[in-house]
Structure 1
């Protein structure tokens, strides 16, 4: 029995990010089903965003971010998290083995949040 591929929206965001920051990045990326970010960023604004939209959160361990190959490179993300894009890495890690990036990170208008989309392997 084959299962359908699923899209996961991965997020990276600054401490100053708001629900509106996350919503802007999410909508620019094209919106998806599940949301993912690094585990220590889940409490607070990210949970508020997910709850308001009735979306499932997939928390990603920080060590799993560095295992992902990202398309874009943020010097801040590299320095703080060991990955070129937290959003891309979170999306890929949450989507699982064989996942592919289908939308590179987009940045919210206020510059506080990024979102990327990955598709699970079929």
Structure 2
């Protein structure tokens, strides 16, 4: 299973989220689920509905334990992780999930998306 994890600003639109996903997948990789912070799941829900994919909400307490590839000082200060997109993708992909790509940004830089794969794939 491939999970697309998202981090985004409150002002991110559906187009921002779609752009981040497209940048992460290169429009070549099919994802099986979307994930983000539990407090932001409502904002990602329209994309999940549009793509007919399950949406996984990840608690902020699970972020710090995820081995992310990138380090944003702002994300570290706000959420305890260098990348919300990478951490939520990893957390949602399970204990032995692995990061497929570091985060990619939407064209407006309001959203980021990273991919992780669960060992069941």
Q: Which aligned segments of 4 or more residues in structure 1 are displaced greater than 4 angstroms?
A: none
Q: Which runs of 5+ in 1 are unaligned?
A: 1-5
The residue number in structure 1 matching 2:71 is 73
**Cα distance in 1, alignment partners of residues 63 and 76 from structure 2:** 11
**Cα distance in 2, alignment partners of residues 28 and 93 from structure 1:** 21
**Cα distance in 1, alignment partners of residues 37 and 60 from structure 2:** 6
Give the alignment of 1:45-84 within 5 angstroms. Answer: 45-84=43-82
Superposed CA RMSD: 0.9
Q: Which runs of 5+ in 2 are unaligned?
A: none
The residue number in structure 1 matching 2:7 is 12
TM-score (norm 2): 0.93
| Secondary structure in structure 2 of the residue aligned to 1:42 | helix
The residue number in structure 2 matching 1:3 is none
TM-score (norm 1): 0.92
Aligned length: 116
